[in-house]
C-alpha cells in the first residue's frame, strides 16, 4: 500500500508553534482550546494577525517544531509494512525546504530522502492513502482520504477522520 503523510499538523505541530510564538511575543495565554474551528490568526487581534502569517516565512520556524504524539512509532511500523512518503506542500515557503528535510532526518530518519515529496499542490499524488489535515488536499486525492484532526478543521465534514496516530495505526496496520 502506498501511503502519503502530510507534515504540518500531521507529524509536526505547527499550530502549537504559532500559538507558542504568539504568546511569547505578546505575553498572552492563547491555547488550542481557544482556537477551535479556525486558524490561529483568526483568534488574535487584527493588529497581530500579520505576525502569525509571517511566522511560516521566518528562518527557524520549521526547524524547531514538536513531533505529534505517537507519530514516530506508528510511522516506523507503517514504513516497515508499506510504502510511506512524507508529502508536504513546502514550496509555499521555499526557505522551509532545508529545515523540513533536516527535521525529518532528526525525527523520522527511517523515512529517507527518496520517500520525501516537497511539492506545490498535492493533486499530483497517486496512491492508496493520504493523511492530511487540510480538506483542499484531500479533495483531489483519488485514494482513501484520512483527515487528521487539528483545531482548524474540527468543523470540516466529508472525510474519514482520525484523531490520533494510534488510531491511524489501528486503521492501517
SS3 129: strand
CA-CA distance, 152 to 134, in Å (whole number)?
9
Adjacent-strand bridge partners of 50: none
Can 39 be counted among the known catalytic residues?
A: no
Strand partners, 146: 131, 160
Among 8, 13, 132, 133, the active-site one is: 8
Cβ pair 116, 4 in contact under 8 A: no
Sign of the dihedral through C-alpha 62, 63, 64, 70? positive
Is residue 139 annotated as part of the catalytic site, yes or no? Answer: no
List, by residue number, the catalytic residues: 6, 8
Amino acid at each position: 500500500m502506498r501511503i502519503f503523510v502530510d507534515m504540518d499538523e500531521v507529524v509536526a505541530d505547527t499550530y502549537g508553534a504559532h500559538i507558542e510564538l504568539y504568546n511569547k511575543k505578546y505575553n498572552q495565554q492563547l491555547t488550542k482550546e481557544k482556537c477551535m474551528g479556525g486558524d490561529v490568526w483568526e483568534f488574535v487581534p487584527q493588529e497581530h494577525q500579520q505576525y502569525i502569517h509571517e511566522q511560516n516565512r521566518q528562518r527557524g520556524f520549521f526547524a524547531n517544531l514538536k513531533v505529534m504524539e505517537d507519530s514516530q512509532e506508528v510511522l516506523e511500523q507503517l514504513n516497515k509494512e508499506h510504502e510511506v512518503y512524507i508529502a508536504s506542500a513546502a514550496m509555499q515557503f521555499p526557505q522551509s525546504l532545508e529545515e523540513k528535510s533536516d527535521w525529518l532526518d532528526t525525527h523520522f530518519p527511517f523515512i529517507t530522502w527518496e520517500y520525501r515529496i516537497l511539492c506545490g499542490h498535492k493533486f499530483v499524488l497517486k496512491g492508496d492513502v493520504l493523511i492530511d489535515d487540510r480538506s483542499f488536499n484531500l479533495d483531489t486525492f483519488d485514494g482513501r482520504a484520512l483527515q487528521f484532526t487539528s483545531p482548524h478543521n474540527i468543523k470540516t465534514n466529508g472525510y474519514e477522520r482520525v484523531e490520533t496516530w494510534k488510531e491511524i495505526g489501528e486503521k492501517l496496520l
